[in-house]
Structure 1
Amino acid sequence: MDKNFSNIEEIIADEQFLAWYFGSENSGRQQWEQWLASNPHQASLVAEAREYLDQLVIREETVPEAQVSNAEKKLMNSIEEWETTIAAMPFAERAPVRRLARWWWTAAAAVVVAVSAIWLFRTEEKPALVQTAFGEMREQQLPDGSKVTLNANTEVTYTHGWEKGKEREVWIKGEAFFHVAKTPEKSRFVVHTSKFDIVVTGTQFNVVNREDKANIMLTEGSVTLLTSDGKSMKMVPGDFVEVNKQQIERKAGREENVLAWKEKKLFFDNTPLYIALEKIEEHYGVKVTIGNVNCRNVPISGILPNDNLNVLLDALDALYEFHVIRKNGEIIITQ
């Protein structure tokens, strides 16, 4: 997929971006995710386009198809009228006016495209989807005032408009930190993962739900873990629990280590190199290979910056005398 966007208007007109933004279950969404992972230099522009659509979606009410069509016709009529007016001007005055007109047409067209997309993708109510790309973080406020901070490559879904007194349900794939608001009705807040559920009323915790691992770190309040086979465990602040094959196990876990990602850092404490590189792959969606088997278990300790892949790799190179090779989209680490 060969794409190179220069502005957000081009992005919000892209069907695959819209499929990704609205969480559609089709090939367009997967193709966009693959393109985004291969083009990290465009992540900031994509984030701007998403924020632009976020503002439209928040204010959006159901727009009839006829109303969208009329808006498009009015836009085209306005463009034709501007062209007629500009053509009647003296030649020397046309250029600056035409540049201004083109800027206005581009902005107006972007709004029409965005509203049309909202109408197209939201003809039926779907759960709200919040997601992050590789190398990205995002904070989202939920309908009850609770806040969730998403780590890279994470999806959180929830139903629209939580009713008072009813359970507040969220589904997560990836990693996120929840700050759950208490409600007067003390309604339960339930986070669903593929391996367990977390039941709370008001608390703060970090949860990981990825293919190869699932865990929770509780920082405040109390929660109850429930597995699909009926096992349960109550947690208190400071507890770190892993769930593997329906087995719930308390383990040693340092809060500053687990939550370092919120500060855009990676925390290592005698961590073998291959595990450290797995974290990098997970966060940035890149392939990292150890070129020399002898350095596979070299221990890594310290706090490294994690807001830029190149800076992170340079830090590894400088601090531990690793040699970093970038070749054909792959990163090779040798010593």
Structure 2
Amino acid sequence: MLSPSTNYRTPEELAADPAFIRWVQDPTPATDAHWQRWLEADALRLVLEQQARQLVGLLQFQSVSLDLANRRGLEAKLRQKMVEIALPTVGSALEAPVLPLRPRTAPGWMAYIAAASVMAVLLTGFWFWQHRTIAPDRTYTTAYGQTQRIELPDQSIVTLNANSRLRLVENWTNNATREVWLDGEAFFDIRKKPGTKAAQFTVHSGRVHVGVLGTTFNVTQRRGTTQVVLSTGSVRLEGLPTGTQFMTPGDRVVYRETAGLPDDRRVERSRVNPANYMAWQQREWVLDNTSLEEIATMLNDQFGLMVLVNPPLSERRLSGRMSIESPDVFLENLSTILGVSIRRTATNQILIQPQ
């Protein structure tokens, strides 16, 4: 991978880097950390990254509906087109010194924008000429503390938890395989399509692919860990290092991978009460011998709170059902139950310490 000193002359050049494309399309904790270091090495790289990310979006063009061979062929053609358009246009402009925050540097960035605009038109025409029947994507996102109920084109229902994103091809034909891509957590109530053999519903969650016909289940994908809990029906899991696995109601399967250690990939399977893992839909958490350290992570995922736990308290554990309607009330209850001090700092961090 690139070092923090690696420089790109144009947004197009960065957008053509396969490593950058993989990070934008399928980020992992390891690649997030790597590219964050690259961004922090030079403040001007943030603008470059934002423009390149938009260009990668043009590169994708709902390519999720293409097979891998066609997608790679298309990307190769688009990347070649980037070089042909962008480098002659903006290469000479970047040979001059860059003076940040000076109005006279604007024409250089205008060249980027002009090149990107021309490229966008060409890419759009090229895409629709080759793939006129591909439907547009639709993305649903939730903020911290927010949930959203989504009705899919087949009348299936998805409840999206806080700090999550769901992407799908917007128009599904009657015989098409139904696919969605999840980053975060969601509960799925999938409608079975009678009399249609090719009506499988697939949830892509990190490396794990959950295939179903008609069922209810919960999927969580955060920080390199994917968890699937099945309530009704049956599902098939693919993409696991242990091979394909089938689940029955009450099964919980967790796939974990460690950032920077590609060989450290684990699969855990257990029997649980599914309702406990889906209580968030009622704005509750069911804690089962859950450590304070784990609760701190849950609060960060759900509400964006930065919670710091005093190390001697990190393994204090709690079981029971607690409301998460208000994070402040939750923290007050936590303080009372465990007998700990919880306070908010001037920088809006939450400190959990002994009383």
Shorter-normalised TM range: 0.5 to 0.7
Q: 1:325 aligns with which of 343, 347, 350?
A: 343
- Is the 8 Å Cα contact of residues 276 and 300 (structure 1) preserved in structure 2? no
CA distance in 2, matches of 1:242, 1:204: 17
Change (3 A) 1:144 1:279: same
Q: What's 2:254 paired with?
A: 242
Task: Give, in angstroms, the shift of residue 247 of structure 1.
Answer: 4.1
Is 1:253 the equivalent of 2:265?
no
Q: What's 1:226 paired with?
A: 238
TM-score (norm 1): 0.61
Runs of 4+ in 1 over 4 A off after TM superposition: none
Change (3 A) 1:230 1:316: closer
Is 1:217 the equivalent of 2:235?
no
**How many residue pairs align between the two structures?**
217
Q: What's 1:143 paired with?
A: 153
After superposition, the C-alpha distances for 1:250-273 in whole angstroms (9 at most, x for unaligned) are: 124332321121111111122111
Task: Give, in angstroms, the shift of residue 224 of structure 1.
Answer: 0.5
Task: Give, in angstroms, the shift of residue 207 of structure 1.
Answer: 0.5
Residue identity matched to 1:182: K
Q: What's 2:297 paired with?
A: 278
Q: 2:321 aligns with which of 303, 321, 325?
A: 303
Task: Give, in angstroms, the shift of residue 323 of structure 1.
Answer: 1.1
Task: Give, in angstroms, the shift of residue 27 of structure 1.
Answer: 4.6
Residue identity matched to 1:281: N
SS at match of 1:129: strand
SS at match of 2:230: strand
Q: What's 2:163 paired with?
A: 153
CA distance in 2, matches of 1:325, 1:182: 49
Q: 1:63-78 counterparts in 2 under 5 A?
A: none
CA distance in 2, matches of 1:313, 1:212: 27
CA distance in 1, matches of 2:204, 2:233: 18
CA distance in 2, matches of 1:208, 1:142: 19
Is 1:208 the equivalent of 2:220?
yes
CA distance in 2, matches of 1:221, 1:126: 30
SS at match of 2:182: strand
CA distance in 1, matches of 2:276, 2:240: 29
Q: 1:160-175 counterparts in 2 under 5 A?
A: 160-175=170-185
Change (3 A) 1:315 1:332: same
- Percent identical among aligned pairs is 31
**Unpaired segments of 5 or more residues in structure 1?**
1-25, 31-122
**Unpaired segments of 5 or more residues in structure 2?**
1-48, 54-124, 129-134, 258-264
Q: What's 1:52 paired with?
A: none
Task: Give, in angstroms, the shift of residue 180 of structure 1.
Answer: 0.3
Change (3 A) 1:233 1:289: same
Task: Give, in angstroms, the shift of residue 158 of structure 1.
Answer: 0.4
Task: Give, in angstroms, the shift of residue 293 of structure 1.
Answer: 2.4
Is 1:182 the equivalent of 2:192?
yes
CA distance in 2, matches of 1:238, 1:227: 21
Deviates more, 1:239-248 or 1:219-228: 239-248
After superposition, the C-alpha distances for 1:67-113 in whole angstroms (9 at most, x for unaligned) are: xxxxxxxxxxxxxxxxxxxxxxxxxxxxxxxxxxxxxxxxxxxxxxx
Residue identity matched to 1:261: W
- Is the 8 Å Cα contact of residues 167 and 189 (structure 1) preserved in structure 2? yes
CA distance in 1, matches of 2:224, 2:315: 20
SS at match of 1:135: coil
CA distance in 1, matches of 2:336, 2:200: 48
Task: Give, in angstroms, the shift of residue 249 of structure 1.
Answer: 2.9
CA distance in 2, matches of 1:161, 1:149: 19
- Is the 8 Å Cα contact of residues 182 and 202 (structure 1) preserved in structure 2? yes
After superposition, the C-alpha distances for 1:160-196 in whole angstroms (9 at most, x for unaligned) are: 1100111001000000000000112141111111121
CA distance in 2, matches of 1:196, 1:277: 26
Task: Give, in angstroms, the shift of residue 229 of structure 1.
Answer: 5.9
TM-score (norm 2): 0.57
- Is the 8 Å Cα contact of residues 230 and 250 (structure 2) preserved in structure 1? yes
Residue identity matched to 2:168: Y
